Structure 1
């Protein structure tokens, strides 16, 4: 494992540790976070990416659109994600995970 991968894994561990300690978070919140990480898995995790509601709902196994929107809003309000809706069916909404990667060399 190189240094960048190590920072990436430490950042994700801290991110999920903080999320799991939120008293108002439910399994659906964590499920969406995991789906978001999966969707940005092939690019720099610190950059914004576009993803559709349909894809996130499929990955997170959430069936209700209202539950999805409620959880996205709460993740945004809690500071775990930055979210810009697009309402474009092909483009998808812009999401950025608020993960801090400490690169102290």
Structure 2
């Protein structure tokens, strides 16, 4: 368990450094990433994890579904995460953070 927590901490540090350098991100992008980290860390899983739109919107203080989907698609396009939507009303969507190393190769945990 401690190893997974250490990996989760390293993932957060990696993303924090990337966020500082990325001028494309708005406050709502960072708030949504914060909400995603919260739900990812609750399960201590570095692979795929689930999150519902309503909970992520509430946690990130995003009130518009259009804004939520725009910011989420931006984060996918910018290479921060993978997203598989769930079109079922009671099943949560699936997410996974993407880690890009200095050689621009994808390493997914």
Residue number in structure 1 paired with 2:17:
17
Residue number in structure 2 paired with 1:89:
89
> Structure 1 stretches of 5 or more lacking a match?
none
Structure 1 residue 89: Cα displacement: 1.9
In 2, Cα distance between equivalents of 1:7 and 1:87: 31
In 2, Cα distance between equivalents of 1:71 and 1:81: 12
- CA change 1:18–1:48 in 2 (3 A) is same
Q: 1:12 touches 1:99 (CA, 8 Å); kept in 2?
A: no
1:9-88 correspondence runs (5 A)? 9-88=9-88
CA RMSD of aligned residues (A): 1.9
TM-score (ref. length: structure 1): 0.83
Any idea what SS the aligned residue of 1:41 has? helix
The number of residues matched between the two structures is 100
TM-score (ref. length: structure 2): 0.81
> Structure 2 stretches of 5 or more lacking a match?
101-106
Any idea what SS the aligned residue of 1:87 has? coil
